[in-house]
Each structure stands twice: as structure tokens, then as C-alpha cells.
Amino acid sequence: MRKCVYCNIKNVKGGELSFVRFPTDEKILQLWIQNMNYESNWKPLKNHYLCSQHFSSECFDFRDKLYRLRKGSIPTNFDRSKENVVLVSNYRQILDDEKHVCDPLTKRLNVTSSILNSEESYNCIAETMSKVNTETVPMRVIDHDHSYGETQEKLKKDLMLAMAKIDQLTAKNRTLLKKDKRNKQRIASMIQVINQLSKKNVSCS
């Protein structure tokens, strides 16, 4: 019987929860482990699963009467009291601390913005960025306290999660664009059929 490795909830027949395996992509896996507040050297076994309550609804795709986890999805619904949810905030501080991060990030954001032209993706990105812009970044005090290094490391991880979220939205937008293209093709085909039928009716009369 499948069981969630985080909350120990078991899979029961007829239950509403689904259970997903851990990703094989190492970068995505580390984000999962980080959000679970597990040690970075912890490795999941083949029989380890996470239940669907740790993911947002947009992470799942309903096909063939089954819920499937979208590729690149990150679990974020964990107990905040344990401080195990990585928030996408204050990532701008990293750009001040390490300038070499700026160029790759800027290129990825430029590429992403060029293809995110659907209303749904635009609204989602705008909502995320508005939260970041309104977040107050505390003034950095330069000293020799070890906590500075820990804060910098957390900000690096926050940036990784933000970039992973952008990749997820990009993939979602591609799917929406493909659906929109197919719908337009169907409409064009239907219009063509209607025009042909109209011509036949006119010729018959």
C-alpha cells in the first residue's frame, strides 16, 4: 500500500488523494527535499511517495479520468510552522551579492517573456512578481556573523525555486498555445464547411 513519506497518510481504495513518485531530475528532486525540510543528503527510495495534498491544484493535469502530475511541478503545501516551505521572495538580494547570476537569469526571463503571450500566463506571472515587488528586503548589515552565509544560501535556493516556477509556467503556456491553435484550426475548418454547404444550397435553388 502506498503511503506519503512526509505525512504518513496511506492510500485507501476510493480515496481522493493521489500519490506520486519522487522526480529523477536531480535539480527538481533537491527542491522537493528542500521544501520538505529534509537533510540535503536524504535520498528517496523506490517505494517513497508524496500525496497530492502537498501540491497546488495547478500542478495536476486530469486526463483519461486520472490525475497526473505536470512535469517540473514543485510541492509547496507543507507545515509553515516547521519553516519548510521555501518562499519565492527577496531573490533580488542575490543579484546584488553575485553579479554573475544576473546575466543567465536575465536571458531566461527574456526568453520566457517572449513566449508568455496568453492572458492566463501573464496574470499568473504578474501576480507572482507583484508579491515579490511588495516584499520588503531588509537592509544588510555587514559583519562577521555566520548567519549572513546562511541567509545568502537560502536566497540562492529561493532563486532556484523562482526559476523553476518560471519554467513550469512556460511549459503550461506552451500547452495553452497549442490548444488555442487547435481550436482556431477547428473553427476555420467549420467555417469552410459552412461556406461549402451555403454554396450548394444556392446552386440547388
The letter for the amino acid at 194 is I
Nearest partner of 72 among 7, 157, 178, 166, judged by Cα? 166
Query: What is the arithmetic mean of pLDDT over 61-79?
Result: 83
Tell me the pTM. Answer: 0.39
Q: Give residue-wise pLDDT tens across range 117-168.
A: 445 555 555 555 555 444 444 444 444 455 555 677 778 778 888 888 888 8
> At residue 107, does pLDDT exceed 80?
no
Average pLDDT over residues 189-196: 86
Tens of pLDDT along 23-51? 999 999 999 999 888 888 899 999 999 99
Q: Which of 135, 129, 140 is nearest to 96 (CA)?
A: 140
